[in-house]
């Protein structure tokens, strides 16, 4: 049996993975049909919110302020970092996330975007989903002192 904190971590990781799956599926449908359906709007809106939080989390490092969203932004930033190439500089990371955010916004609001850019967004969320899967597996495999018997 898991401790409360480990169970919370596991729940959070699984939810993040399901979120990534929803976005990937919406983007896969877009790649196939070049249209955004009402069904996919929520996933794209959540992608926009997530990417905005990633940028806020990045900026928080330079100007830490306690706010309601600061913890969520820090988590989003951490997850996005795990989903990107480790060799990206801070500046390139921000540019990359801004580009992805612009595509997500465009898909959500205008229901269209350059297919190549939409594919890059899908690749990011694919990496994000894989990173969360690894995180989930690590939580499940950890049999440290927190496990109750």
**pLDDT tens-place string over residues 37-50:** 988 999 999 999 99
**Burial label, 56 (beta-carbon count in 10 A; 0-12, 13-18, 19+):** middle
Stated length of the chain: 149
Domain assignment present for 25: yes
- pLDDT > 90? residue 147: no
Domain assignment present for 147: no
pTM given for the model: 0.85
Q: For residue 21, report the phi and psi dihedrals to the nearest 5 degrees.
A: -60, -40
Domain assignment present for 146: no
* Arithmetic mean of pLDDT, 26-46: 94
Q: What is the mean pLDDT of the chain?
A: 88
Confidence of residue 61 (pLDDT cuts 50, 70, 90): low
* Domain extent for 77: 4-141
Domain assignment present for 58: yes
Instruction: Match 């100007």 to its residue by tokens.
Output: 63
Q: How far apart, in whole angstroms, are the C-alpha atoms of residue 91 and residue 58?
A: 10
* Arithmetic mean of pLDDT, 123-143: 91
Q: pLDDT value at position 66?
A: 58
Domain assignment present for 149: no
Give Cα 139 distance to the centre of its chain: 18
Domain assignment present for 116: yes
Number of structural domains found in the chain: 1
CB distance 142 to 131 below 8 Å: no
For residue 115, give the nearest of 47, 33, 45, 31 by alpha carbon: 31
CB distance 14 to 138 below 8 Å: no
Query: Helices 90-110 and 115-141 meet at what angle, rounded to 10?
Result: 110
For residue 122, give the nearest of 49, 38, 31, 45 by alpha carbon: 31
Q: pLDDT value at position 145?
A: 45
Domain assignment present for 148: no
- pLDDT > 50? residue 84: yes
């Amino acid at each position: 049996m898991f401790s409360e904190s480990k169970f919370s971590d596991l729940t959070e990781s699984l939810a993040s993975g399901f979120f990534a799956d929803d976005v990937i599926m919406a983007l896969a449908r877009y790649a196939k049909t070049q249209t955004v359906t009402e069904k996919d709007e929520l996933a794209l809106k959540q992608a926009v919110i997530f990417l905005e939080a990633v940028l806020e989390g990045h900026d928080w490092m330079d100007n830490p302020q306690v706010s309601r969203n600061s913890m969520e932004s820090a988590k989003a930033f951490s997850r996005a970092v795990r989903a990107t190439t480790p060799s990206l500089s801070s500046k390139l990371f921000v540019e990359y996330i801004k580009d992805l955010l612009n595509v997500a916004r465009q898909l959500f609001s205008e229901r269209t975007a350059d297919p190549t850019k939409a594919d890059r967004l899908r690749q990011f969320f694919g990496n994000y989903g894989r990173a969360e899967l690894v995180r989930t597996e690590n939580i499940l495999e950890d049999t440290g002192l927190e496990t109750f018997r």
